[in-house]
Structure 1
Amino acid sequence: MPMSNSAIQKLGKRLELPEAVSEEDLTLLEDLLLDYSELLGVARGQIDELCDSVTWPLGVTHRLKTTDTLIQKLQRAKARGSSTNLARIQDIAGIRVSGPLTLTEQDELTAMVAERFEGQGHRCSVKDRREDPMVGYRAVHVLISAGGRTVEVQIRTVGQDLWANVFERIADIFGRGIRYGEPPEYGGEAVTDIISSMEGLSAKLFELERDVAASIVSGGEREDCLARLDPSLVTLRKILQEIEGIKGRSAT
């Protein structure tokens, strides 16, 4: 029988404490993730089917948070003084859809995802992070509620996806908390400057994506308009490659 939201919340309260996690609570968390895994598998099948029906070349991936990642998330929040309700964490199960989309097409795909799942009786809500980014992170998320659990579908343009991948690698090196506006664990002001530069790059990319979408609406050739994004995408790919090199050297 699935855990109730009340039981999940109580489990989260125990897991957020810095003491060693009990075997019993670890087993309960693993059982909870199994519930999410089953829901994620069903949702992934629906997303794959939907993406196969459109003309845009889309990539689809999915992931389930691990027990370690969830416990760290809960304990980080507790350490900040802002306890997190485990039952309300929305990104335990996630699907990512990305491709060479304009902002207009991103809106269209978002509507298609929500319509498909709402048509099956699930409740959907949309979180648009493009106008109101989180530390530079931009995307559109569709939150699908089914059976008391939530699957988060992230819909990203190529530029948004590349930017997010770069920032993820930076967070791997200097502290995962920087994704939520926390100070870096290492590097001090130099890393703060890097974060500021990444936020500026995100803003410039978004302005360019808006211009591209407007040009296409005005009658511009789609591929020609999208090509205007190429220099920014090349820059992000170079940064990503450099960071991967840094990570590789630090691991040896």
Structure 2
Amino acid sequence: MEYYNDVAVFVQEKLDSLDWDSLLTGRPFTVTSRLKTLDTLTQKLNRDRRYPLPAVQDIAGVRFEAEMTLDEQDAVAGAIMGMFNQDPGCIHDLRSEPHSGYRAVHVWLRLPVRVEVQVRTRIQGLWANMYESAADVLGREIRYGELPADAALHALITTMQDISVTKIALLEVSRNEVIRIGAQTAANLAILRSLEAEGLDSSSEQFRHVLGQLEKSDLDAEAAQKGIDAEEAEVRASLDEWKGLFDSIREERG
């Protein structure tokens, strides 16, 4: 376990030292590392006896989180793959096929030992932390697809998972598309204004029409972005409340 910890810390420090500005445009990011506890590792080995200890991918785990779009998340995962000279098959997308509601992109590094790098957007991380707190209270098995027989608890857990796979997923797809369209619109506007500066007849009906359409698209994208921001803020507040509730129950239980 000490050796796995050393490798995890090595990966963490290497990721932390990289200049991510070209991908994240100055937005902050966090890189952390952690080891499975002996209890959790034993439970994992007992759940699936087909895999020997060296085949367990996530004994050493590293997490990379940032405020980023889905496209940027893909780019970060690709950069990590390249940094450690890994094959593209090392990238596992858990966003389209979430596990118990968990969504992220994992990079499975094969170094002297295996290391799992979880690349998560901030809101994916907030949901995962909330669900982890819920598992401490409702049972660790909910992290592995096992739902309780009790109807009320079953409905509660299903609701929490639905927040991730439906609500958050839709918000992230919408944000990704709005930002992508906005970037393309801004680029097209820049081209038109450059042509205008070079002497294009900006008084022509065709020019004014195209310019007007682009400016309208730019305003529409800005309005859509504000709507997504407001909706996401509500989801984040809800996740904070749920996590606070589960944390308080855990503390009361001692």
Shorter-chain-normalised TM-score: which range? Answer: 0.7 to 0.9
Correspondence 1:194 to 2:156: yes
For 1:68-79, list aligned pairs within 5 A: 68-75=39-46, 77=47
Match of 1:233 in 2: 236
Match of 1:247 in 2: 250
Match of 1:218 in 2: 181
Higher Cα radius of gyration: 2
For 1:37-48, list aligned pairs within 5 A: 37-48=5-16
The 1-side partners of 2:143 and 2:51 are apart by 16
Match of 2:4 in 1: 36
SS in 1 for 2:18: helix
Indicate how the Cα distance of structure 1 residues 166 and 52 shifts in structure 2: closer, same or farther if over 3 A, else same.
same
Q: Report sequence identity in percent.
A: 35
SS in 1 for 2:76: helix
The 1-side partners of 2:5 and 2:80 are apart by 19
Match of 2:72 in 1: 105
| Deviation, structure 1 residue 52 | 5.5
The 2-side partners of 1:86 and 1:123 are apart by 22
The letter for the 2-side match of 1:193 is A
Correspondence 1:183 to 2:185: no
The letter for the 2-side match of 1:45 is E
SS in 2 for 1:218: helix
The 2-side partners of 1:52 and 1:211 are apart by 24
Correspondence 1:140 to 2:119: no
The 2-side partners of 1:218 and 1:225 are apart by 16
Match of 1:85 in 2: 52
TM-score, length-scaled by structure 2: 0.75
Q: Give the CA RMSD over aligned residues.
A: 2.1
Indicate how the Cα distance of structure 1 residues 192 and 127 shifts in structure 2: closer, same or farther if over 3 A, else same.
same
The 1-side partners of 2:115 and 2:95 are apart by 20
Q: Answer 1 or 2: which has greater helix percent.
A: 2
| 1:185-216 CA distance string (max 9 Å, x none) | xx722221111101211121101110011000
Q: Which moved more, 1:221-230 or 1:160-169?
A: 221-230
| Deviation, structure 1 residue 70 | 1.2
Where do 5+ consecutive residues of structure 2 fail to align?
183-220
Aligned residues: 209
Correspondence 1:166 to 2:130: yes
